[in-house]
Chains A and B, each alone.
Chain A
């Protein structure tokens, strides 16, 4: 048996035993001590059974991170994060969670009920201790039921598509990972990206070979062991010439996690005539009404259109997290390539979001479209931050940007910060921005037709977001609509 597999099986066995006898036994085996230093990085790499090059890569990232400063330019405020006061390796992650559903924020449970999630899954999502042993039908049992997963993998394999956890890819497809990892988001790209590069433990790897149209939408729902989205996710998607793929990330059910800090990195690579569509519904726990306990979400997402006429499209619906810091970007390097960004960001109560995109036009005839819808309610604060850069060679490049903000109530804020840099005379950049409030007229009109105030707000907000929601795959769009409405509950009146 190869050493890597053996290590992996050992780790898995240990993981299982900690579930069976409670998390306190064998705990040292599963959780690295608090703190972050080179030893932590080495431990992670070793536990994952990684080759030397991967460890070297991580160490390089870690050393770069040590030299970097946490960015402060975003329009968000939070107490300083103590990076030494966290565990960076835990398998399975087991820290004292709520003992029963009674200890869970009742708001969260109410939301689950509205989304129609059965009780046992509610317990699981809320991270109730022991929920998994006591309640055998877990989320992954529903979505990853053996038959579904098997058919699913068979279909993909027949098409030549690789879709697996990134840790598996590092062991099983090292040549691909080594060739592409960090080529879009280099290890020292930014503070949170570097941190992720040093310590990531979860994530997906997708490879679509030349000429293949991926036969199904790839969803993190279906990734085995994807129940706990990791704290530091790393995703790498490669579409070779003429390949096409649509990838769905996230889950509409609000997800709780004992880790407050989340820093994911996603890299997309599209070769000639390839197309990647990446859709996200992000609904991390936003904290209670006062904003306590919510997730901090610092994400680096970037795609490169390397080949001519390739296309990368980001669609996101962001309703969760206490803090969101996220700018999915496109580097348009292939002639005539296309970048798209469709976004809905909702903030309520004390949530803060600073999100937007970057479109970097390097090649002639490249085109980009940005449609950003920002909805703020309660005492929340939301910023759209977008950069469009036309490099000297971007002849006849085009960008169209539309930013619309909708305010609900008068204690929230919305800001639009566009940066436009054009170094080519023939390039065109168009920018439109609007700010509006839900009018009394609209609300009264709906209510006089029998709609409750909340249904009316939901309908109006979904109307406001229509251009973005229609970009989502069908089922996702329906769930996202419900989610938008739930996120804004209690924000009017």
Chain B
């Protein structure tokens, strides 16, 4: 199935203090089932915007193009419907939820998604068992389950918490927006392992990163270069190495 995630001519803008600002300017991208793709691109090229638009954040206005996921019009769905359909976004800046117990948040989310997918909800015991297994894998302390969601978490803890959520929600398509930023090499390895172990013919991912380093651990099937709201070049994993050495200039010039 080649049109697992299919984006065509996608355009989106944001209202920046009253003046509309176009950010995505006709973006094309396909990620087939079972593949992991990477997106690299300079700051401000619209990578986070793309991930937000795919996840359904409604302060971005889609002004053209289309995005389908598993054959459905993704852009017509509410964020929670997209989650139920199997889409997951690991945020570049995870949001803090003061007073909301992390374990309770995770369980509410897991059960909401399970309900929507027609699966049985997990009771407290089953949930705790599942979550403990994952936290151990990710070298997270149990203490993080008792604290408020992301509140007072270090940068690395927040990212691990994103990966924990991803693993518990069992998506078929994960977008990781700079999940590697701010991680030391050990944390990076743990996070990469968290993604790699999900690899299967039924799991795809879009890994947004600045660093070749992450792609040493999560080897992508394809790499896309993004600039000015568009994919300007696509190729094999080697492009990442070229970028690391030579920067974006040659791609930008070629595209101009």
Partners in one complex: yes
Closest to A456 in B: B80
B97–A449 touching, CB < 8 Å: no
- Closest CB in chain B relative to A475 CB, distance in Å: 16
Quick check: is B99 within 8 A (CB to CB) of the other chain?
A: yes
Beyond A440-B59, A449-B165, A450-B169, is A459–B100 a contact (Cβ under 8 Å)?
yes
List A411-455 residues whose CB lies under 8 Å from chain B: 440-442, 444-453, 455
Closest to B110 in A: A450
Quick check: is B84 within 8 A (CB to CB) of the other chain?
A: yes
- Closest CB in chain A relative to B11 CB, distance in Å: 21
State the CA gap A157–B84 with chains docked (Å).
Answer: 55
B37-58 to A contact mask, C-beta < 8 Å, 1/0: 0000000000000000001111
Q: Which residues of the partner chain B approach A447 to less than 8 Å between Cβ atoms? A: 56, 78-80, 83
B169–A449 touching, CB < 8 Å: yes
Quick check: is A466 within 8 A (CB to CB) of the other chain?
A: yes
- Closest CB in chain A relative to B60 CB, distance in Å: 11
Q: Which residues of the partner chain A approach B84 to less than 8 Å between Cβ atoms? A: 450
B80–A463 touching, CB < 8 Å: no
A445–B109 touching, CB < 8 Å: no
State the CA gap A455–B165 with chains docked (Å).
Answer: 17
Quick check: is B108 within 8 A (CB to CB) of the other chain?
A: yes
B113–A450 touching, CB < 8 Å: yes
B71-99 to A contact mask, C-beta < 8 Å, 1/0: 00000001110111000110100110111
A455–B112 touching, CB < 8 Å: yes
State the CA gap A281–B155 with chains docked (Å).
Answer: 39
B112-131 to A contact mask, C-beta < 8 Å, 1/0: 11001000000000000000
Q: Which residues of the partner chain A approach B219 to less than 8 Å between Cβ atoms? A: none
Quick check: is B14 within 8 A (CB to CB) of the other chain?
A: no
Q: Which residues of the partner chain B approach A451 to less than 8 Å between Cβ atoms? A: 80, 108-109, 112
Quick check: is B148 within 8 A (CB to CB) of the other chain?
A: yes
Quick check: is B105 within 8 A (CB to CB) of the other chain?
A: yes
Q: Which residues of the partner chain A approach B98 to less than 8 Å between Cβ atoms? A: 463-464
Q: Which residues of the partner chain A approach B91 to less than 8 Å between Cβ atoms? A: 445
Q: Which residues of the partner chain B approach A236 to less than 8 Å between Cβ atoms? A: none
State the CA gap A449–B79 with chains docked (Å).
Answer: 8
A450–B100 touching, CB < 8 Å: no
State the CA gap A323–B167 with chains docked (Å).
Answer: 47
Q: Max chain B CB contacts within 10 Å: which of A442, A447, A452, A459?
A: A447
State the CA gap A444–B113 with chains docked (Å).
Answer: 15
Closest to B96 in A: A442
A450–B112 touching, CB < 8 Å: yes
State the CA gap A109–B22 with chains docked (Å).
Answer: 48
Q: Which residues of the partner chain B approach A453 to less than 8 Å between Cβ atoms? A: 78, 80
Beyond A442-B95, A455-B108, A455-B112, is A463–B148 a contact (Cβ under 8 Å)?
yes
Quick check: is A460 within 8 A (CB to CB) of the other chain?
A: yes
State the CA gap A230–B69 with chains docked (Å).
Answer: 58
A449–B83 touching, CB < 8 Å: yes
Q: Max chain A CB contacts within 10 Å: which of B57, B91, B97, B101?
A: B97
A460–B97 touching, CB < 8 Å: yes
Closest to A481 in B: B104
- Closest CB in chain B relative to A466 CB, distance in Å: 4
Quick check: is A465 within 8 A (CB to CB) of the other chain?
A: yes
B113–A442 touching, CB < 8 Å: no
Q: Max chain B CB contacts within 10 Å: which of A446, A450, A453, A464?
A: A450
Q: Which residues of the partner chain A approach B82 to less than 8 Å between Cβ atoms? A: 448
B100–A462 touching, CB < 8 Å: yes
Closest to A470 in B: B99
Besides A444-B95, A462-B100, 15 more A-B contacts (Cβ < 8 Å) are A442-B97, A444-B57, A447-B56, A447-B83, A448-B57, A448-B88, A448-B89, A450-B83, A450-B109, A455-B112, A459-B97, A459-B108, A460-B97, A463-B148, A465-B99
30 contacts between A and B (CB under 8 A): A440-B59, A441-B95, A444-B55, A444-B56, A444-B79, A446-B97, A446-B109, A447-B80, A448-B56, A448-B79, A448-B80, A448-B88, A449-B105, A449-B112, A449-B169, A450-B84, A450-B109, A450-B113, A451-B80, A451-B109, A452-B112, A453-B80, A455-B112, A459-B100, A459-B105, A460-B97, A460-B100, A462-B99, A463-B99, A467-B99
- Which A residues are within 8 Å of any B CB, using their own CB? 440-442, 444-453, 455, 459-460, 462-467
The 5 closest A-B pairs by CB, nearest first: A463-B99, A463-B100, A450-B83, A450-B113, A445-B95
- Which B residues are within 8 Å of any A CB, using their own CB? 55-59, 78-80, 82-84, 88-89, 91, 94-95, 97-101, 104-105, 108-110, 112-113, 116, 148, 165, 169
